[in-house]
Chains A and B, each alone.
Chain A
């Protein structure tokens, strides 16, 4: 149980284009999902908290208009990197919190998406 998927696993795009990354909780409902960014050999940096049916909460320094988050259902959140530039190249990871019974404080992570902007 508690499986989170991400799609795509890796994407290469041209500078100036937009890229959408999907995060799905496969066997549980998640009212809250999280988006992280991880640079090589570094820890995870929280970008935003995605809440189902409401606006995402962004961390300080994260551009809302550049990293669009939509959490339209209890099992799906999307991150769209708009007008991507080479500095946006990174590893993006989502996580989801199980809204049901059990360990609701625990975040389960997706396998990550490697974005390369040329």
Chain B
């Protein structure tokens, strides 16, 4: 079974600074997808960024980028120019690429605080 580990229960960053959230995972599969979801106080889960394991290029979405290290099974999220609206719980998630095995395995989350 796959596992996802987020070793930082809480992180804080000064507004406009950069912060990196870590995520590691364990799998025996070679093809899979990785995601970062954000859950603000409203508790609505919002997709931040996705990465296909077969792609070597790191995904980027505006101020959000990932550092995907397949061999190390690491998938960190970098948030640049942090904004107050970035304050939330961030969950890393894994999904197999196997058709029919669509479940997401989530990490325990990292609570990000933005300091004005």
Q: Give the interface of A toward B (CB within 8 A).
A: 32, 34, 38, 42-44, 46, 49, 91, 93, 95, 97, 103, 105-112
Please, which residue of chain B has its CB at the minimum distance from the CB of A32?
B102
Q: Give the interface of B toward A (CB within 8 A).
A: 33, 35, 37, 42-47, 50, 91, 95, 97, 102-104, 106-109
Partner of A105, one of B37, B44, B97, B106: B97
Complex CA–CA separation, A32 to B101 (angstroms) = 11
12 additional A-B residue pairs with CB within 8 Å, beyond A43-B107, A49-B103, A109-B46:
A42-B108, A43-B106, A43-B109, A44-B106, A91-B43, A95-B45, A105-B33, A106-B33, A106-B35, A107-B102, A107-B104, A108-B47
Partner of A44, one of B46, B91, B102: B91
Q: Which residues of A contact B42 (CB under 8 A)?
A: 111
A105 touches B103 (CB 8 A): no
A to B CB contacts below 8 Å, 6 in the list: A32-B102, A34-B102, A34-B103, A91-B43, A97-B102, A105-B97
Complex CA–CA separation, A46 to B50 (angstroms) = 20
B45 touches A109 (CB 8 A): yes
Q: Which residues of B contact A97 (CB under 8 A)?
A: 102
Complex CA–CA separation, A45 to B50 (angstroms) = 20
Please, which residue of chain A has its CB at the minimum distance from the CB of B96?
A105
